[in-house]
Amino acid sequence: MREIQFREALREAMQEEMRRDESIFLMGEEVAEYNGAYKVSQGMLEEFGEKRIIDTPISELGFAAIGVGASMNGTRPIVEFMTWNFAVLALDQIVNHASKMTAMSGGQFTCPIVFRGPNGSAGQLGAQHSVAYESWYANIPGLKVVSVSNPYDAKGLLKSALRDDDPVIFMESEVAYGEKGHVPEEEYLIPIGKADIKRQGTDVTMVSFNKMMHVAMNSAEELEKEGISCEVIDLRTIRPLDWHTILESVKKTNRLVVVEEAWPFGSVSSEISYRIQKEGFDYLDAPIRRITTADSSMHYAPNLVKAFLPSIEKVVKAVKEVMYAEK
């Protein structure tokens, strides 16, 4: 199977769906003439023209509103944010309009729109450019939230998102666009709401998503050297969340560690921990552990970036604590 970059997988998904459905168009800052801030939309202006690949002003609230209105009138917009850190300016349209439109109209209007772009930290970019927002959007009924870790999942899930009749929050990673992965040339779709077991294991269940999957997988490799077998689950979709896959894994391993690039209070890992202790308490042989960012803003200094983010060392320590808790 061929290997392509993360950005190429996203581009292929958009191109294939735009060729299939003329109601789909892409809009955002620098998506057209500049080929995208991260070159995700490279070449798409030449293929689809300026009516379907649209450069916008630096006004997230404004062009998100145009996208929501367009989706109510028979089109399927893709709204690209240069970073989800900037998308907070468009929260009114996403939260008060896109997510509520079907309910408020009594089903008369749907809002088939995909909001996509990079999420979370990307190194030394300071506090205002380093936040992971999955839990914010997952808290909102009416939105579907996808957060991908590799090119294969990115393409299959973006294609599914573009065919969905609900608004979809699609989260990527700024540092992952150049990563390569195996992606089939033939068409495929990945259903929204289905997690994937990336690594089979017997001793502890490790759950993660987006670029923290790399931390989880590398931690599992380190732990295997010490005889600890980790089952690693990539959530892929945050809402709806695949509770069944997590619970069935915990039934097998009897331990759970969640790795997330977000603040600890009110996080995705908080919800997972609550749900599993509620429905799977009898299967747990140790308290659930979660590894999140520090409960603070992320500062610029490299030593503080390291202290802020989850790491292999932190994950390995947490797994050993749940492995030997009864001792």
- Does residue 170 share a domain with residue 288? no
- pLDDT value for 327: 47
- pLDDT value for 44: 98
Q: How far apart are CA 134 and CA 119, in angstroms?
A: 8
**What length is written for the chain?**
327
How many other CB atoms are found less than 10 A from the CB of residue 108?
9
- pLDDT value for 306: 92
The domain of 164 spans 3-182
- Does residue 264 share a domain with residue 162? no
- pLDDT value for 326: 59
Q: Is residue 24 part of a domain?
A: yes
- Does residue 151 share a domain with residue 24? yes
- Does residue 208 share a domain with residue 109? no
From the candidates 17, 29, 80, 129, give the one annotated as an active-site residue: 129
Q: Domain containing 42 — which CATH number?
A: 3.40.50.970
Q: What does the pLDDT look like over 73-89, one tens digit per residue?
A: 999 999 999 999 999 99
Q: Is residue 299 part of a domain?
A: yes
- pLDDT value for 72: 94
Q: What does the pLDDT look like over 67-76, one tens digit per residue?
A: 999 999 999 9
Q: Is residue 188 part of a domain?
A: no
The total of structural domains in the chain comes to: 2
Contact 311, 288 (CB under 8 A): no
Which residue numbers in the chain have pLDDT < 50?
327
Q: How far apart are CA 258 and CA 227, in angstroms?
A: 20
- Does residue 79 share a domain with residue 171? yes
- Does residue 200 share a domain with residue 175? no
30-61 as b/e: b if 16+ CB within 10 A: bbbeebbbbbbbeebbeebeeebbbebeeebe
Q: Is residue 175 part of a domain?
A: yes
Last residue of a domain, one of 182, 216, 233: 182
**Short-list 245, 250, 251, CA closest to 289:** 250
Q: How far apart are CA 40 and CA 11, in angstroms?
A: 6
- Does residue 295 share a domain with residue 209? yes
Known active-site residue 60:
yes
Sign of CA dihedral 16, 21, 22, 25: negative
From the candidates 60, 80, 172, 231, give the one annotated as an active-site residue: 60
- Does residue 176 share a domain with residue 301? no
Known active-site residue 222:
no
